[in-house]
Amino acid sequence: MQDRAPVIYLSHGAPPLADDRRWTAELAQWSEALEKPRNILMVSAHWEDAPVTLGSSTGAPLVYDFWGFPLRYYEVTYDAPPAPALADDVTKLLTTPGHAASTPVHRDESRGLDHGAYVPLKEMFPAADVPVLQLSMPTLDPRGLFEIGRRLAPLREAGTLIVGSGFTTHNLRWFHPREDPDGTPPQASAEFDQWAREAMAARDVDALLDFLARAPAAREAHPRTEHFAPLFVTLGAAYESGGLENSSVIDGFWFGLSKRSWQFV
């Protein structure tokens, strides 16, 4: 029987992540240390839709949700198998009759994986042989997302890898692609990254859920919070099924943005 799958939150970068030898090697090394999951549930910063919506379980084309990049980035493919059984399981977990936190679940069979999903998956699971399903974020409220994660926690026992895909700091005013990707980050990015590292190491759920009030430079690091929001789904899933023991698997900065990523056991 497959062991309980971990939960991960990763910083995913823009499509040019694929050209960064260091970062792609870090993602590949991370996946090599994981037991191959039975399937993957992706929560990406790039899909907000209420109520909760499930992406294609039949294999819709990728969503190239970015503009102004060279043609080669629009020619990338990632033909992972669809995950209809996982879609059914997610629906059951989130719509349990009589449960106070029950929420309706819609399906959009026309929506394929967006770049927050396929860009990191292409580096971590390049064979594209693991079924993948994407789940929308119906809100950016940390506690609402945390509760969704708690409801999804049983998926881990069946070998589902729950992945939150965002960016630990995300202020595109700091992003200057003509500069050194490994250059010194802005002070606000470094301060927020350090706070997040310490809060996660302390397993301080309350602080993390209240990050806008408690973290230094929070509104500079996240002028809009959608890239930190997937973390709260993963926190909920980890918390519900055994606690928040975690490790920071990837750290450092990419064009000033913190690419710190965590794994929960």
Whether residue 39 contacts residue 163, with contact meaning beta carbons closer than 8 Å, is answered with no
- Is the pLDDT at 2 greater than 70? The verdict is no
State both tokens at 173: 């005013």
The pLDDT tens digits of the residues spanning 100-132 come to 567 889 999 999 999 999 999 999 999 999 999
Q: How many residues does the chain have?
A: 265
Domains observed in the chain: 7-264 (3.40.830.10)
- Is the pLDDT at 49 greater than 90? The verdict is yes
Report DSSP letters for 126-145, one per residue.
Answer: TT--S-EEEEEES---HHHH
State both tokens at 83: 């995950």
Average pLDDT over residues 216-239: 97
The pLDDT tens digits of the residues spanning 125-152 come to 999 999 999 999 999 999 999 999 999 9
pTM: 0.95
The dihedrals phi and psi of 116, each to the nearest 5 degrees, come to -65, -20
Residue 176 — very low, low, confident or very high, per pLDDT cuts 50/70/90?
Answer: confident
